[in-house]
Amino acid sequence: MNILIMGAAGSGKGTMAAKIIADYDIPHISSGNMFRAAINAQTELGKIAQTYMDRGNLVPDELTIAMVKERLSQPDCQKGYLLDGFPRTLKQAEAFEDIAKQIGRPVEAVFNLTVHLEDLKQRVIGRRICETCGAIYNTVGSAPKVSGICDLCGSPLVHRSDDTVEQLGNRLHEHMVLTQPVLDFYREKALVHNVDASRKPELVYSDIYSILRLLR
């Protein structure tokens, strides 16, 4: 199954992605996580990406496309993939169309998660992430059992530098301007499924799972 999941920062893409990959045994490919790994390793690509992410801006297309292409060439993508946060621009979508054809894995479904602005603010401010295992928590509604500690692996949780109301405003603006053409691109192919992600995670995933079952 070849899936794209889209939505603004705080819409729950990571949470839904974790559920999808557990059910379908496909890799979760997040451009954000790939760039954060490069930043932590202080690679040249990571240093460049950090300058954009620290300002709350999106990483340029060329950097993102190069990293995703490399990732898709790995053996664990043979059964399919779940792309989270990519493509973000029309240029990326068009480039990915060529990549998907090359590997014989065309996109089969695009899930667009929609959330009200006030809900997004609360989610972003309270979000805490485990950089060791990737688990996502929130101080409101889904807090860890021990404050600041991951339930799954015991590692410290972090509050990302770009998870602020100010940075959210920048990211939402860029998301609206850049992502709408991407959604239009996939709507023309009848691949987009809008999902109300303001609800509880189990209800959101119930909708996603029902759609995926129809596509299998």
Question: Computed from CA positions of residues 120, 123, 127, 129, in that sequence, does the dihedral angle turn out positive or negative?
Answer: negative
Write down how long the chain is: 216
Catalytic residue among 36, 88, 123, 128: 88
Catalytic residue among 171, 187, 189, 216: 171
Task: With beta carbons less than 8 A apart as the criterion, state whether 179 and 6 touch.
Answer: yes
The residue whose two tokens read 């557990």 is: 22
The residue whose two tokens read 């995933």 is: 205
Residue 208: Cβ-neighbour burial (10 angstroms; 0-12, 13-18, 19+): buried
Catalytic residue among 13, 36, 71, 123: 13
> Is 160 part of the annotated catalytic residue set?
yes
Greatest Cα pair distance, the chain, in angstroms, is 46
> Is 171 part of the annotated catalytic residue set?
yes
Residue 161 CA to residue 199 CA, distance in Å, equals 26
> Is 88 part of the annotated catalytic residue set?
yes
Strands in the chain per DSSP E: 2-7, 28-30, 81-84, 109-114, 127-130, 136-138, 157-158, 192-196
Catalytic residue among 71, 123, 127, 128: 127
Catalytic residue among 69, 91, 160, 199: 160
> Is 13 part of the annotated catalytic residue set?
yes
Distance of CA 30 to the CA centre of its chain: 5
* Residue 111, token pair as written in the block: 């899930």
- Residue 103, CA distances (Å) to 6, 23, 26, 191 in order: 22, 23, 15, 19
Which strands make up the sheet holding 157-158, listed edge to edge?
Answer: 136-138, 127-130, 157-158
Which residues form the catalytic set?
A: 13, 88, 127, 160, 171
